[in-house]
Structure 1
Amino acid sequence: MPEVIVPERFNSFMGFDFGTQRIGIAIGQRITASANPLAPIKARDGVPDWDLLQRIITEWQPDAFIVGLPLNMDGSDSEMSRRAAKFAKRLEGRFHRPAYTHDERLTSYEAKGIVIAEGGNRNFGENSVDGIAAQLILESWMIAHPREQGESR
């Protein structure tokens, strides 16, 4: 996989947990490598309400997008990883910001564990973990791509 070069001026990122029915969203900033989940948006066969997404992006003004790539456990592509990569390309084309993908294996499982540990309902249909999964994807990506020592802030 080629090395990802992230411009040092990029400080805020919007992360996505792509799904065919819901798309989890999180917003994060690079200085602390922390993120917070936002409300997931509904999708129809993986297609979001682009107008709603435009409003969210306009409100938060991220420098770039990070889309979770649901690879198979052996690291190979899956149908969902191909669809997530296509979603990343569409984000980049529509909103004129770079979109990066990041291996998201097991983040939904980890997000469910977080909800259960915090006493949440195990019926994940209504209590969506998609925003938490997006948060985990984004934080993992920022940890993997830290600011270099001496970068201007």
Structure 2
Amino acid sequence: MTGPLPSAHVPAHLGRFLAFDFGLKRTGVAAGNRLTGTATPQATLRAEGDARWPLIAARMAEWQPDALVVGVPWHPDGAAHDNTRRAQRFARQLRGRFGLPVYEVDERYSTTEAHAAGARDADAAAATIILEQFLRSLS
């Protein structure tokens, strides 16, 4: 999938979301709400490999999301690359570990957009952009 799912595929009872901008060393996080259509950046997770899972579990406990959103990067021409596969693997791991629906969103240029906006934490800002894009697709 190379973009957010149409709203028909996201059940209406799913209202609270956590979004992730996956990276090998840093993973941006944002929390959002379908009702308001807004997303808020959270502190970026600075951990690699399995060390990130307890941090993610703590965010899950804090926010109690109904579903998760993962930004998946693609080349400008839509071709996959190594980070595409890494983000998709991360999405599968989230689904397996937490048992929640996970939606993948095309996140081309989200980090560039975050930098252009002057974000101090570009990873969290990118996760916010990803989640806001997803939430807009639901209306």
Q: TM-score, normalised by structure 2?
A: 0.90
Deviation at 1:145, TM superposition (A): 2.2
* Higher helix content, 1 or 2: 2
Q: Is it true that 1:7 corresponds to 2:11 in the alignment?
A: yes
Deviation at 1:102, TM superposition (A): 0.3
How far 1:78 moved relative to its partner? Answer: 1.3
Between the aligned partners of 2:50 and 2:134, the Cα distance in structure 1 is 24
1:133 corresponds in structure 2 to 126
Q: Percent identity?
A: 40
CA RMSD of aligned residues (A): 1.6
The 1:21–1:63 alpha-carbon spacing in structure 2 relative to 1, beyond 3 Å, is same
Q: Distance in 2 between matches of 1:104 and 1:50?
A: 22
The CA distance in 1 between the partners of 2:80 and 2:102, in whole Å, is 18
1:76 aligns with 79
Q: Output the CA distance in 2 between the equivalents of 1:47 and 1:114.
A: 31
Alignment of 1:111-126 (within 5 A): 111-115=114-118
Partners in 2 of 1:48 and 1:73 — Cα distance?
A: 31
Q: Secondary structure at the match of 1:49?
A: helix
State the match for 2:106 in structure 1: 103
SS at the partner of 1:132?
helix
Separation (CA, whole Å) in 1 of partners of 2:134 and 2:78: 17
C-alpha separation in 2, matches of 1:43 and 1:84: 15
Q: 2:96, 2:130 → 1: CA distance?
A: 21
Q: Which runs of 5+ in 1 are unaligned?
A: 117-126, 147-153
Distance 1:144 1:48, change over 3 A: farther
In the TM superposition, 1:5-84 aligns within 5 A as: 5-44=9-48, 47-84=50-87
Q: Is the 8 A contact 1:111 1:133 kept in 2?
A: yes
Greater C-alpha Rg: 1
Count of residues in Structure 1 that have an aligned counterpart in Structure 2: 135
Residue 33 of structure 1: how far off its partner (Å): 1.3
Q: Tell me, in whole angstroms, the C-alpha distance in 2 between the residues paired with 1:60 and 1:75.
A: 33
Letter in 2 for 1:89: R
